[in-house]
Amino acid sequence: MGEIIKGKTIADKIKLDISEFVNFRKANNLIIPKIASILVGEDGGSIYYINNQEKISKSLGVGFEKILFPSSISEEELIDEIITLNNREDISGIILQLPLPKDMDEKKVISTISSDKDIDCLTYENVGKLYMGEKCFLPCTPNSVVRILKSLNVILEGKRAVIIGRSNIVGKPLSSLLLKENCTVTVCHSKTENLKDVCKEADILISAIGKPKFINDEFVKDGAIVIDVGTSSVDGKITGDVDFDNVVSKASFITPVPGGVGALTTTLLIKNSCEALEKDED
């Protein structure tokens, strides 16, 4: 039976740091961090994520503004709203829930976000810094995966890591972070041949494709670490990419959904907003 990795346990330690930061600022009449989180449309996974952001932010004393737009909003209107947030001094961090409606130019909208408030590393400037190994806001979901792996006291150097999914949000930046840890990284996608065989070579298997229970024990090598990044809404419940009950006995460590990567991702997002506020004041 694989050991279940609780993202909450790791997140709780980071939350203590955030609470101390906020309490210090309150005690000294300083501005506290505030996040503006934008959602266009009604994607189930994004709704779950933004509600969780609000809940955790408020519990830590961090300001939070949930900005909801119908999918009918025009690209120009959305860009204007983001520019307004860029110019607001009370907003320290901006996050845009993806994907956007298909009729929008996602890259154009993302590029509108101020790089100084881009707390999930979406803009060209921050992504460029990430790939060049320069200091920047680390993308929260990929950073959560690395934090979880490091918490296991497992030597990452030389490990074969297989990532399923090549999105700009998870797969690509995660490959960069794992390369920095000296893993040997393979990124799989919809055109990958013999996917199961490739996955079974992985010491660390990470799925980020949003296909409920797609990964079963046929994809997993005995003793592999399995990290489930996927979130899909199935019958009103958040479900991961991994068929947990089928895989848990084969893995050495495994993350649940919910309660795994997502439990840490939001906390790291909030921590980035604290760092953005400090950076702005320097």
Residues of the binding site for NADP(+):
165-167, 231
Binding residues: 165-167, 231
- What does the H/E/C string look like for the chain? CCEECCHHHHHHHHHHHHHHHHHHHHHCCCCCCEEEEEEECCCHHHHHHHHHHHHHHHHCCCEEEEEEECCCCCHHHHHHHHHHHHHCCCCCEEEECCCCCCCCCHHHHHCCCCCCCECCCCCHHHHHHHHHCCCCCCCHHHHHHHHHHHHCCCCCCCCEEEEECCCCCCHHHHHHHHHHCCCEEEEECCCCCCHHHHHCCCCEEEECCCCCCCECHHHCCCCCEEEECCCEEECCEEECCECHHHHCCCCCEECCCCCCHHHHHHHHHHHHHHHHHHHHHC
